[in-house]
Amino acid sequence: MDGIKVDLHTHTYRSGDAGTTFDEYCSGSASMDLVAVTDHHDLFAGSVLQDQYGLSVIVGEEINTGQGEVIGLYLSSVVPRGLGLVDTCRRIRHQGGLVYIPHPTDARRHGIGGGRLAGLCQAGLVDIVEVGNSKAVTVDREAQGIAHAFGLPVAASSDAHVGGAIGSSHTVIDRLPSGPDDLLGLLGDGRCCHQFFDPVRDLTKTVVTPGTSATSPV
């Protein structure tokens, strides 16, 4: 066995900018051993895919802080948008979750930027730095250098907004983690597998606004 394949940044139709149904998500994630469902301001899909579809899921949320985007992993309740970076990270930690920084230096996609990343790392508020994202052609060397300087684990993830993109970038670890702290330790010895893959998404299939209680059938 080649190890455990993990994709820590994926989306479903619940994000509002994706159309991936639960069935499409299950099909697309078949090659992954563990996925984090990180819809924008919503935890519904992650919980359903875990509880009703039997996937190995980390429930997460991608949050617009007003100063760039941050992902919380292992969440039990939604973190509100617009709280700023520091308060958002503290809210994630208060739930026992992990702070994952997606596409850090990609300003077009609401990355927080290298300076803010370094500042958050200095404050001890970052757990994982994403250095490979399938929507970027190359690995984020600046973010990689910052993570290395602060001794933080890194990850490659797909940021999939269509089912077929899930796992296009991923991280390989030795075994399934038992929880947040165990995941950090495993990522420390993990291997990032980055691939540029950004297929066109069908926006006519987006049926929910993120952060609402709508539960359109999928």
Which residue range is the domain that position 118 belongs to?
4-205
Domain membership flag for residue 211? no
Tens of pLDDT, residue by residue over 160-185, are 999 999 999 999 999 999 999 999 99
84, part of any domain: yes
89-122 per-position pLDDT tens digit: 999 999 999 999 999 999 888 999 999 999 999 9
Query: Which phi-psi region, left, alpha or beta, contains residue 82 (left: φ > 0; alpha: ψ -120 to 50)?
Result: left
Q: Is residue 215 part of a domain?
A: no
Write out residues in the chain with pLDDT < 70, as ranges. 1, 205-218
Distance, C-alpha 53 to centroid of its chain: 20
Core vs surface per residue 34-57: b (16+ CB within 10 A) or e: bbbbbbbbbbbbbebbbeeeebeb
Residue 216 in domain: no
The two three-digit tokens of residue 5, written as one number: 């394949």
Report if residue 155 sits inside a domain: yes
Is residue 113 situated within a structural domain?
yes
pTM, two decimals, is: 0.93
Question: What is the number of structural domains in the chain?
Answer: 1
The CATH number of the domain holding residue 162 is 3.20.20.140
